[in-house]
Chain A
Amino acid sequence: MRIPPRAVHLTMLGFLWVVTLSAVATLAGIVGWVLWRGLPSVTPRFLFSMPEAAGAEGGIASVILGTLFIIISAVLVATPLGVGTAIYLVEYTRESWVTRVIRYGSDCLAGIPSIIFGLFGYVFFVLFLGFRWSILSGALTLALMSLPTIIRTSEVALRSVPQSFREVSYALGATRWQMVLRVVIPGALPGIVTGIVLALGRSMSETAAVIFTAGTVLPDRVPSSPGDSVRTLAVHFYILATEGATDAQPRAFGTAAILVLAILVINVSAYTLMHRFLARYR
């Protein structure tokens, strides 16, 4: 007996609805739960004062600033390298074994577990180069981790710029670099920015690589040099939740709430920025 197509259609529709709903519900559930548990501890004092008693008392100001310093430095290092690589791959070379090696290498880099990056960063930056546990070591390690994301998203963005724009640009007598700078990069900018923001969010939530390279010392003052050791939000949450006393739990959740909110804010602002940018050109 043949099942009526309409029945199949309705069943599948229902099934897809359930699948989609459960995906969205899981996300909303996790974020909601963290915020529900964490937000009550988030007070101005929590945000703007230094931690005391190993984080059980006081606030997380130095942790927030340490996180910002480390992820911003990481992105500042990774962006020129990643975008530069992507521009080379897309605009300056034709497909050959060289490009395949570069792309394969970058894909492999993306597949390496973060703890291996941490180990490498520890051995290379912390010990060999003598940067110790510091913002510098942590940022460089996170930069390496962000490279594949930035290269890949930039590459896709650059390739999505219509070939006809490149032709026109050449036909008007532009050099390759003028074409890249004035036509290709502006066209690819939303995609490139999205990649950078993704990398920012990932760096922010990274723990293993950061513990190895930036340390876990809880600073009781604002970090003032790239050589200072810091503890990032994600690491702070991990340590409070696993090692802290029971009375540190509200602060652990407060930290998690800030982390979630920060990533949310980064993503939403990047999204609106991108939309505004696209709306300008439609």
Chain B
Amino acid sequence: MLASRDLQLWYGDFHALKGVSMTIEPHSITAIIGPSGCGKSTMLRCFNRMNDLVEGCRVEGEVLFEGRNIYGRYDLTELRKRVGMVFQRPNPFPLSVFENVAYGARIHGLAGGERLRESVKKALIATQLWTDVADRLSTPALDLSAEQQQRLCISRLLAVAPDVLLMDEPCSALDPLATQHIEELMLELKKDYTIVIVTHNMQQAARVSDFTGFMLLGELVEFGETDTLFTAPRDRRTEDYITGRYG
């Protein structure tokens, strides 16, 4: 589905990714873990080329999406439509609940009128937010709780009909109960989407993911099935990190 091949990235003089190669399987959840500053968010942002927005950022190597290198000639709006992103802090637009979800659909001209309402409803049902907000679609999104806001942001993304969901520490601004709910949602979404999640929370990675990559200082130290990585890590540094002797 998605794969990086010897990916190198610099922010100015800072070498942030050092030859990272990983493959993301369809309909799976892949977690990228590692201490702060290890490059895991940078890695995630290579998959939809969000690093392009950072001044002084330079990339070498390849990221393949369905076999095509997205760092070659590639329509970025098309890429980001198919590889969507959920951010660390819930960041709904200061618009109504409805307009937030409709935003992406409107951009891509996916629907209008009744079809637009249907797609908004579908996206809200998919994140189990519909029952909470059905009767207040026109209220400001910022009136929702943090968890609801994050669900709303995921709905906003789903309404664009992506194939891949990139999640950049989606639960770090939420309380434990809300975190649990979002994790359950991720397991549900896995059936229809391919998910890559960056988290500093190892328990979270162990709970939800099928594959895990451990990054340190810009390198991908170890990548494999989550169960194996957490029970029988091959690399000493991975073992140190997951047993809490690191970071």
Contacts and interface: CB of A to CB of B under 8 A. Distances in A.
A158 to B, nearest CB: 15
A178 B80 CA distance: 14
Given A164-B87, A173-B77, A281 B103 contact: no
Given A94-B55, A182-B103, A172 B80 contact: yes
Contact of B104 (A162, A165, A172, A175): A172
A interface bracket (residues with beta carbon within 8 Å of B): 20 to 34
A23 interface: no
Contact of B91 (A94, A168, A178, A280): A168
Number of chain B interface residues as a range? 20 to 34
Interface string B61-85: 0000000000000000111111011
Nearest to B92: A168
Contacts of B140: 280-282
A170 to B, nearest CB: 6
B50 A170 contact: yes
B83 to A, nearest CB: 9
Contacts of A170: 50, 53, 80
Interface string A142-175: 0000000000000000000010111111111111
Main SS class of interface, A? helix
A164 B53 CA distance: 12
A173 B91 contact: no
Nearest to A165: B93
B15 interface: no
A31 interface: no
A164 B89 contact: yes
Interface string B83-121: 011010101011100000001101110000000000000
B210 to A, nearest CB: 24
A187 B153 CA distance: 18
Which of A168, A173, A187, A280 is the most central at the interface, judged by chain B CB atoms within 10 Å of its CB? A173
A94 to B, nearest CB: 7
6 contacts: A172-B84, A173-B108, A183-B93, A281-B94, A281-B95, A281-B140
Given A171-B157, A174-B104, A183-B93, 13 more contacts: A164-B87, A165-B93, A167-B87, A168-B156, A170-B50, A170-B53, A171-B48, A171-B50, A171-B87, A172-B81, A173-B107, A175-B77, A282-B94
Interface of A: 94, 162, 164-175, 178, 182-183, 187, 280-282
